[in-house]
Amino acid sequence: MSKSSELSVSPSEPTVHLESLDDGAIAVLTLDDSKGTNVMSPGMGDVYSRHIAFILKDPAVRAVILRGAGKNFSIGGHRDMLIDLGRAGRSEKELHDFMLAFYNRWLQILSIPVPVIAVLQGDCLGVAPIFACAADMAFADDTLNLQVTFAGLGLYPGMALPTLLARKVGPNQASLLTMTNEIISGREAERIGLVERCMSAGAAYEQAVRTARSIAASAPSVVKLLKRNLGIKKTDIAAELEMSAEQQARDFQTDEYRTRVANYLPNYYG
């Protein structure tokens, strides 16, 4: 892998940077919408998926780091997209197919055969907490504000988030996170096991690099086998992905959802 690899996108498009460290042993994916919110749009998801496809073809990669540019990791899906999904006249099949494709873009992380380290800071909202669960390990810093917002919108969580949360922190903590819209700090996320470590502000990425270098120094065949045996397989959550796409398609068509989403994240959207 070259030192820095960028797909061709216009300056106004959200993008994902792909860079490498240590002669290609460590790949670094950075979500960057140039606005400091790193909204998980279909467009950004397409760039992210193409970068992962590139990583999968590179035998030099021993570990992957995923982070967000700026002060926030990601505020999840854009409110305009969420409002549009609730527009009258859309069929359940159209909504189901859109959501399933959306999940599949972002869950390409599960296809990476080497360890993935997520670095979380600032706001990590909506569906963005999926990366604390889908990565092999997650580091946070003291600025983290993590919130699963689906129930507050009248929307069942997508991307198998309930199951992946329960796998990582247990069903009771998963219930607390998904049902209450509670915001938790990096220290609380560490306490309940949602992230492996929480560090002082700005220190999580450096820790991720140190950990990735330790992984890269280990025997690659052993690390890949450990990843295969300990990691999440997409086939394990396929049924839930289908169910949640069906349920979200129904939820998008309710008046309750339309009312709630219109006022979503006022600090970002006014």
CATH of the domain at 86: 3.90.226.10
Does the pLDDT at position 8 exceed 60? Answer: no
- CA angle, residues 154, 81, 69, in degrees to nearest 5: 105
Domain count, the chain: 1
Query: Which amino acid makes up residue 260?
Result: R
CA contacts within 13 A on the Cβ side of 15: 13
**Residue 177 is part of which domain span?**
4-269
pLDDT at 76: 97
pLDDT at 159: 97
Does the pLDDT at position 252 exceed 70? Answer: yes
pLDDT digits (tens, 9 = 90+) for 202-250: 999 999 999 999 999 999 999 999 999 999 999 999 999 999 999 999 9
DSSP state of 233: P
- The four Cα atoms 155, 83, 147, 69 give a dihedral, to 10 degrees, of 140
DSSP state of 270: -
Q: What is the mean pLDDT of residues 18-29?
A: 98
Look at residues 197, 23, 220 and name the one whose alpha carbon lies nearest to residue 118: 197
